[in-house]
Amino acid sequence: MDDGYRVKGPFFATQAAVPELRRSRGAVVMTASESGLLGNKNSALYCTSKGAVVNMTRAFAHDLTPEVRVNAVCPGAVMTDMLGGDSPEYLEELNNFSPMKRIADPTQRFMTGALLSIDGGATASR
């Protein structure tokens, strides 16, 4: 499977929008993944592509400041079609990975223990 779209899509879309984003002092929100921060077994390509989005977010944040803010969300496992074909054993493993002992459901609250650095990009430069 070619995961290039997971990297090229956000890159080229952001790049194309830069003139309007600068003019309007807009914001970009990328969709990365917890897998781009931590890595997971049996998913090297996915982890690599989402890690690229994490660092792309940091790079664009540096390149486009101060006119444009660039951030990313990094969700963990969410019960969507993406997990639909996975084995019950793997889903149980995902349940146990989270301190909440469950997979996120799009209709429920799931965020806890997160740190949101509101520091003008200082964290992105480290």
Write the DSSP string, 97-125: HSTTSS-B-TTS----S-----STTTGGG
Active site residue 5: no
Distance from C-alpha of 33 to C-alpha of 76, rounded to nearest angstrom: 6
Helices (H), the chain: 4-24, 35-38, 44-64, 88-97
| Residue in 42, 37, 54 with CA at minimum distance from that of residue 93 | 42
Indicate the residue type of 82: M
Marked catalytic residue, from 10, 28, 36, 46 = 46
Rounded to whole angstroms, the Cα distance separating 39 from 45 reads 10
> Looking at the annotation, which residues are catalytic?
46
